[in-house]
Copies of this chain bind each other. A is one copy, B any other.
């Protein structure tokens, strides 16, 4: 296929499959936000009626947000993003409970905003333990249990993994964490709005979710704080968010979050059914077309839209560029990690071989994907892999000898994610 045709295809097609990084804004959400960009610009903390319109809109959004996760509205605190919520949960709880103990536990495959919040605490005199996961990325509950000590104040385990989609046994974990007298935080960024999330059913004390993961706007998220749980504010200042998060409220975005919650609750079952069928088509049909391809994450307990494969004998970067030229937008797994194609901490934790892992690809689906797009992917993707393997000396060696070339200098990928150290 010539470049010219490629470009035509690109113009025709935009197959967006990076929905765990960010979803397309639902048109209905945008419509709900619109008046708050235009006429309803009053500051919600003001005393005049124009401000009261903003205040009422935020109150309504808070009710919607609470309904999405089984909380009450006074347990919902709006922030600017999931990372901020995770920082507030981890650092805020650590600061509030440091008299009780200075030990926290996180899994080794948490989002960077959890891992690096914990690392920051470690620099400040806290101790951090990392709970291991099995080959599917499921936290090993018995191992986690062993890590919890009398001075453990907080355990943070994600509801599902953004990269490999594995859903964690958070209810079981919450029970044992509480039995040992610690608090439980769950990062539900990948699940809230996508699959049912109920903070009471989970038994979490703190729960993070983000609007841009379920067709809401960027720039807004929430931390749900169970009544009675303390967190020290991380952004000090005004009285907004009941004093727990200062700063003029991002009214249009918060309104959008509320609308996205309403839509998610109403349409979740339908979307999950549709998306998981598409997901299973890729998981089942792609290995029939591409050899030496390995599914990452749990085969069953996984997010409805998550497909993560490691593909041997291909360079990740080449794969992304070629797919991009065909209008297929996928991810290496973590948008927050370095753009340099190091293998992610998640794949490392589940024991993926570095040579295989650097050919890993995350296709995360949304309600906007459809069968025609999956057809297109299933047609184009094997072509890309073939093209790349033709150029691969490792693949040539393998085809000739039936042996994988032993790792030499230069193939030992650097796993250190120290990119935010400054």
Q: Mark A315-347, 1 if CB is under 8 A from B, else 0.
A: 001001101100011111011111100000000
Bound: A88/B308 CA distance, A: 36
Q: A51-B329, A240-B336, A250-B80 are in contact. Are A46 and B25 (CB under 8 A)?
A: no
A45 interface contact, C-beta 8 A: yes
Tell me the smallest distance from the CB of A372 to a CB of chain B, in Å: 19
CA distance A114 to B25 in the complex (A): 35
Instruction: Evaluate contact between B336 and A239: CB separation under 8 angstroms.
Output: yes
Q: Is A145 close to B, CB under 8 A?
A: no
Stretch touching chain B among A14-22, A172-180, A261-269, A271-279: A14-22
Assess whether A113 is interfacial by the CB under 8 Å rule: yes
Interface residues of A in 55-100 (CB under 8 A from B): 80-84, 86-87
A339 CA to B253 CA, complexed, in Å: 23
Q: Say if the beta carbon of A244 comes within 8 Å of chain B.
A: yes
Q: Would you give the shortest CB distance from A278 to chain B, in whole angstroms? A: 19
Name the distance in Å between A125's Cβ and chain B's nearest Cβ. 11
Given A18-B42, A329-B51, does the pair A235, B87 have CB atoms closer than 8 Å?
yes
Q: In the complex, which residue of chain B has the Cβ closest to the Cβ of A236?
A: B116
Contact of A21 with B46 in the complex, beta carbons under 8 Å: yes
Interface size class of A (residues with CB under 8 A): 35 or more
The reply to whether the CB of A354 lies closer than 8 angstroms to some CB of chain B is no
| Cβ-closest chain B residue relative to A234 | B234
**Chain B residues whose CB sits within 8 angstroms of the CB of A348 once the complex forms:** none
Q: Out of B112, B244, B328, which one reaches A246, CB within 8 Å?
A: B112
Partner among B113, B238, B320, B331 whose Cβ is within 8 Å of the Cβ of A83: B238
Please state if B86 and A244 are interface contacts (CB–CB under 8 Å): no
A83-B238, A217-B37, A234-B87 known; A246+B113 contact, CB < 8 A: yes
Q: Can you name 8 A-B residue pairings with CB atoms under 8 Å?
A: A10-B49, A21-B43, A21-B45, A22-B43, A48-B323, A49-B324, A113-B247, A114-B237
